[in-house]
Amino acid sequence: PDGTDYVNAKNVCPARIYIGMKGKMEDGSDAPADDFLARNGLRYGKVYGFATDMSSSGPTGGLFRDSFHKPRENGAQVDGKFVAINWMWDGVAKNFRHDGAWDFQIDVPGYESTDMKWWNSGSLDLSGSKTEHLSPDTRPGMTAFIQGSTAGYFGMFLFDIICNSSFSNLTGSVDVGKCCRSLLHSWCQGGPGCN
């Protein structure tokens, strides 16, 4: 859709979250009360990816995640938002060709032709370091998670408003603005194995 070929989607993605609506089937209709997946919000939901202003004057200076992290000190901050991708599971298992992973190589929905881009590890069409090992922040009053990377950094994503927000559909973005932050930490500051 953007005039370039898709590349292998492996490690071409931002931090992602899933938001599901409990009690709904894949088409949004009410689910039977005994449906385990629906009861837990796993039949009707969307995947959201972290996007930020990728202009040279934006919070990352136009750098994608791996390049941004290398020279940073602990506590660097990147404001952004989680935006829903267009793909949504329809209840039928299909091969990877039909997966939503490809959506992170094109413009962010609702922000087409702007500087708001997916904050992928390498770029929109270049694989980067793998993100892994998500961990929830279990402190009282916090809605956050920490995500690590094989590049030797991790980010904490804070959601101050999301639990107080209510929305009836799953389109658009979780518009938390400056309340959605990636606080970046690096335990690999130029030592052995850091490159």
The per-residue pLDDT for 172 is 53
Compute how many other C-beta atoms are within 10 angstroms of the C-beta atom of residue 92: 7
The dihedrals phi and psi of 138, each to the nearest 5 degrees, come to: -95, 10
Please tell me the distance from the alpha carbon of residue 195 to that of residue 190, in angstroms, as a whole number.
7
User: Over the stretch 137-183, which tens digit does the pLDDT of each residue have?
Assistant: 888 877 778 888 888 777 888 765 444 444 445 555 554 333 344 44
Given a contact cutoff of 8 angstroms between Cβ atoms, the answer to whether 13 and 27 are in contact is no
Q: Indicate if the pLDDT at residue 119 is higher than 90.
A: yes
Q: How confident is the model at residue 20 (pLDDT cuts 50, 70, 90)?
A: confident
pLDDT single digits (tens) 69-105: 888 777 788 888 888 898 888 888 888 888 888 899 9
Distances in whole angstroms, Cα of residue 163 to Cα of each of 40, 84, 97, 176: 16, 17, 33, 11
- Residue 110, SS3? coil
User: In b/e form, how buried is each residue of 160-195, taking b as 16+ CB within 10 angstroms?
Assistant: bebeeeeeeebeebbebeeebbbbbbbeeeeeeeee
Q: How confident is the model at residue 24, as a pLDDT?
A: 92
> Taking 70 as the threshold, does the pLDDT of residue 1 lie above it?
no
Tell me the pTM.
Answer: 0.82
Rounded mean pLDDT of the chain?
79
Asked if pLDDT for residue 190 goes beyond 60, the answer is no
Higher pLDDT, 133 or 182: 133
Of residues 67 and 167, the one with the higher pLDDT is 67
